[in-house]
Amino acid sequence: MPRFFAIINGYDMKMTQAIIILFIITFSILFTEQAYTQTVTVSNADAYAQAIYVTNADAYAQAVSVINADGHPQTIPIAKPDDYTQVALVDTGYLATVKEQLRKVWPNNRTVNIVFHGHSVPAGYWHDHEVHTLESYPYLFLKQLKAIYPYAPVNIIITAIGGENAVKGQLRFDSTVLNHRPDVLIIDYALNDRSAGLEKSRIAWEKMVAAALKQNIKVILLTPSPDQRNDILAKDNDLEKHAKQIKDIAAKLHVAVADPFTVFQQIQRDGKNLKDYMSHVNHPNEAGHMIIATELMKWFK
């Protein structure tokens, strides 16, 4: 009998050890999943949500899983997670009708008008007031667009005026923008809106977007390119405030936003020289314009 209980006790001890080991392994797996890998699933109820900001305190890899409006899942890993990381969630469904038109072949196609409304950057101004039209982002964008849609006749129409802010741009909106009957309207004023202030700028942006939407025009709002006199990594810097306001307007009015400002911020965080992307204190060179064009193109793929 004592031998029997000794066997049972030995069995119990082994079982206890096995349970403890299994618990440790399970806890380790769960802890690893929770602490080191985070997955955020986004379902865009309104079909127009564009971005999610991810804060990663433990500095381990994350992924964002997205169900786009067109029903296609998209998982985006973050290669260099930190507490500044932004994952752009581009809803490919927003420009579905435009892309359908861009894919058509003669004789079933028609000209697609894309209007760029804003200040000196989309107008093509570089250093010493030189205008580099073909090296600036509207035409760099056109080159990328045509690589994807070779059968589409596309008009790039630039209504931008150097030195102008959104308040002034809104006053001439009906006569110099809507008259072109754009299929897509791209608005880029934030760099100059600092002089008008956030409130007046917001009113002007919302009026322009509302007028475009009444005519069933698809709208993409652009966050600013850099001004080297402004520390774009400083907390609550002026350009950051305008970039945030633009994203808020896009979310409120259900239009698209392209966000080169975040890309320029990341360039600076990575230790690269922002001057390599600038032709002037507040005008990008071709490399800087290419960043803006590439961010816009995400909506057309």
Q: Which residues contact 234 (CB under 8 A, 6 or more apart)?
A: 240
Residue 84 and residue 57 in contact, taking contact as beta carbons nearer than 8 Å: no
> Is 89's pLDDT higher than 80?
no
Q: Contact 121/188 with Cβ under 8 angstroms?
A: yes
* Mean pLDDT (whole number) for 105-112: 97
Residue 68 pLDDT > 80: no
Entry pTM: 0.73
The string of pLDDT tens digits covering residues 223-256 is: 999 999 999 999 889 999 999 999 999 999 999 9
Residue 142 has pLDDT above 60, yes or no: yes
pLDDT in tens, 272-299: 999 999 999 999 999 999 999 999 999 9
